[in-house]
């Protein structure tokens, strides 16, 4: 379908299902086992309702905010996703350029299909980025990546992925059984097919260090000055630990249902943190991703206390339409967010963050 026929984020995924290769679809749309967490992520946003206020002069609304000090047009970031060239020839460059022109931040994946210099350089500007780190079993490789990042001033934060100690069972991916020959990161390491089906995700993820633990934050700090954000927090207890260890932020995430199937939806985790350790929202920046498909979902997440909200698959699918597609995707989110704010009676996102009085949670009980 032409780009102007794409009117919401699901349309991007549907278009990709119709036009992308079987292999690319299995990789991008796939999730773990029975897809329970994938589905819960999405349906739980849909089960949360607003408490709208009317007659409030909503002629001007402000969506701009900051994420870890980075000024953004709306508190949205493009999730780190591996090998974007599986979606379109521009790959991560389209995500980078589209994010920059839309005023949002792209978090570059360790398993990108282009080097971080190429991705950041694609904007031709000093537009900021975040970098997602998978720690390599061969720690010296990770140390080299961190040295490389230190020379790229556009990189403003390190998102350390914690929810994928081992790559999960992605059945759609395994059924395709493709040989993966992508370069897993800037230094060009090649991945190989593995014995458990050879899914693209599993074979590209075999380098991830499953010994990673909280003590390693000290090791990371010795090798980077970037603010550290732990991505993949799924309980209030771990949110509290990240806070106590001085992390700059956390991402409440279950990897878009691609890690542990049966992990709670990210909405449930946001609520659990509010209940069991509310000071987390005061002391560090709480990001969230997973199943966010509407501007209204972003508003809901902010009302639950999220500083920034990540969107994954729709952006990856939008790469099929090159930079223009990514911009169109961000434009839809911006428009839906502003519309939801106006209809809810909210004029400034930064003023309502964490204010659950704007939510009617009766249905969730």
Query: By the criterion CB under 6 A, which residues form the site for ligand FNR?
Result: 27-28, 41, 79-82, 109-111, 132, 161, 231, 253, 255-256, 258, 289-292, 310-313, 316
Please report how close the Cβ of residue 217 comes to ligand FNR at its closest, in angstroms: 17
Q: Is 44 a catalytic residue?
A: no
**Which of the residues 44, 106, 255, 328 is marked catalytic?**
255
Report how far residue 68's alpha carbon sits from residue 53's, in angstroms, rounded to the nearest whole number.
30
- Categorise residue 315: left if φ over 0, alpha if ψ from -120 to 50, beta otherwise: alpha
The C-alpha angle with vertex 340 and arms to 334 and 345, in degrees rounded to 5, equals 125
Of 154 and 265, CB closest to ligand FNR: 265
Helices assigned H by DSSP within 89-248: 92-102, 116-121, 139-150, 171-176, 200-204, 216-223, 236-244
- Cβ atoms of 335 and 294 within 8 Å: the answer is no
Please report how close the Cβ of residue 52 comes to ligand FNR at its closest, in angstroms: 25
Q: Which of 84, 89, 134, 140 is nearest to 112 (CA)?
A: 84
Please report how close the Cβ of residue 54 comes to ligand FNR at its closest, in angstroms: 31
Report how far residue 106's alpha carbon sits from residue 272's, in angstroms, rounded to the nearest whole number.
27
Please report how close the Cβ of residue 204 comes to ligand FNR at its closest, in angstroms: 8
Of 52 and 227, CB closest to ligand FNR: 227
Of 256 and 295, CB closest to ligand FNR: 256
Of 238 and 289, CB closest to ligand FNR: 289
Please report how close the Cβ of residue 62 comes to ligand FNR at its closest, in angstroms: 25
65-67/49-50 β-pairing: unpaired
Of 160 and 271, CB closest to ligand FNR: 160
Query: How many Cα atoms within 13 Å fall on the side-chain side of residue 246?
Result: 8
Position of minimal CB gap to ligand FNR? 312
Partners of 303 in the beta sheet?
A: none
Active site residues: 255
């Amino acid at each position: 379908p032409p780009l102007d026929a794409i009117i919401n984020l699901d349309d991007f995924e549907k278009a990709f299902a119709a036009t992308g290769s079987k292999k690319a679809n299995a990789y991008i749309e796939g999730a773990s086992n029975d897809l329970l967490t994938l589905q819960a992520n999405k349906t739980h946003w849909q089960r949360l309702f607003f408490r709208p206020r009317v007659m409030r002069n909503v002629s001007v609304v402000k969506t701009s905010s900051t994420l870890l000090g980075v000024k953004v047009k709306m508190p949205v970031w493009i999730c780190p996703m591996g090998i974007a060239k599986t979606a379109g020839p521009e790959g991560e460059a389209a995500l980078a350029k589209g994010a920059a022109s839309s005023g949002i931040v792209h978090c570059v994946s360790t398993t990108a299909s282009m080097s971080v210099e190429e991705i950041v350089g694609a904007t031709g500007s000093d537009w900021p980025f975040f970098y997602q780190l998978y720690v390599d079993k061969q720690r010296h490789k990770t140390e080299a990546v961190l040295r490389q990042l230190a020379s790229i001033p556009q990189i403003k934060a390190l998102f350390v992925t914690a929810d994928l100690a081992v790559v999960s069972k992605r059945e759609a991916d395994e059924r395709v059984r493709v040989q993966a020959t992508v370069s897993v990161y800037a230094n060009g390491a090649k991945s190989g097919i593995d014995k458990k089906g050879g899914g693209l995700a599993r074979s590209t993820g075999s380098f991830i260090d499953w010994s990673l633990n909280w003590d390693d934050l000290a090791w990371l700090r010795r090798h980077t000055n970037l603010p550290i954000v732990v991505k993949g927090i799924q309980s209030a207890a771990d949110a509290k630990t990240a806070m106590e260890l001085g992390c700059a932020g956390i991402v409440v995430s279950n990897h878009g249902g691609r890690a542990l199937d049966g992990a709670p939806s990210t909405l449930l985790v946001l609520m659990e943190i509010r209940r069991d350790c509310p000071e987390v929202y005061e002391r560090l920046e709480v990001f969230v991703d997973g199943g966010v498909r509407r501007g209204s979902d972003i508003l809901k997440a902010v009302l639950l206390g999220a500083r920034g909200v990540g969107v994954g698959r729709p952006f990856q699918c939008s790469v099929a339409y090159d930079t223009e597609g990514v911009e169109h995707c961000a434009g839809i989110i911006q428009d839906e967010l502003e519309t939801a704010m106006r209809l809810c009676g909210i004029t400034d996102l930064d003023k309502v963050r964490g204010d659950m009085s704007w939510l009617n949670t009766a249905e969730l009980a």
